A and B are shown apart, each in its own frame.
Chain A
């Protein structure tokens, strides 16, 4: 089992719709959770950070964390073609040293 799993996609949604991106993780010691967006040929850019159970909203983005289910998600409301990118879920482990584990990413296409 991979430490951080994401559906590779592609996930295709029409412009204006809600895009839902999911991520599961295997280590219950995971402490913090991040979502990054990566455009083709570019480096990842931070979207959101969440570390407690529940929802966290920032503009059109909402991150949801459920530690009991070891599940974190990202919702993108009013999706725009410019949101088309790969979305990476990252988990921080502190096991006698910090490690950041990324999922393989989900490709999102927003159709105009």
Chain B
């Protein structure tokens, strides 16, 4: 167990709907990253938050947005869901951005199915 929790575990949504996924980081960690992992693929970086500010973003459209709260927990919001958004969504937390502080610890993930 890494101490990173995610909710919900599974979710089924309809195309066009909106979804919010939640992540609680490991105690003492101020950095949260979100990833999308399709079956048989490596995790794809969506974005990262450091001390409540977006600090890096991958090649995802603006309908993927996020927040980090003062307690460093985080949300991932996806609007106008598409069938291709069906995937495992992973949250990872780390101590910071430099060197070994960047070791990321993953939560168990949220399995999103869009029908």
Residues of chain A touching chain B, judged by Cβ–Cβ distance below 8 Å, are 4, 32, 34, 36, 42-46, 49, 51, 88, 92, 97-105
- In the assembled complex, the CB of A12 is this many whole angstroms from the nearest CB of chain B, namely 18
Q: Say yes or no: B97 contacts A98, CB within 8 Å.
A: yes
Interface bracket on B? 20 to 34
Q: Say yes or no: B57 contacts A44, CB within 8 Å.
A: no
Q: Say yes or no: B56 contacts A44, CB within 8 Å.
A: no
Q: What 0/1 pattern do residues 22 to 56 of B give for CB contact below 8 A with A?
A: 00000000000101000011111100101000111
Closest 6 CB pairs of A and B: A97-B56, A102-B42, A98-B56, A43-B106, A104-B42, A102-B43
- In the assembled complex, the CB of B87 is this many whole angstroms from the nearest CB of chain A, namely 13
Assuming the contacts A32-B102, A100-B104, asked whether A44 and B45 have C-beta atoms less than 8 A apart, the reply is no
CB contacts (< 8 Å) of B45 on chain A: these are 99-102
CB contacts (< 8 Å) of A100 on chain B: these are 33, 35, 45, 48, 104
* 8 A Cβ contacts from B80-115 to A: 88, 90, 97, 99-100, 102-109
Q: What 0/1 pattern do residues 41 to 82 of B give for CB contact below 8 A with A?
A: 111110010100011111000000000000000000000000
Q: Say yes or no: A46 contacts B103, CB within 8 Å.
A: yes
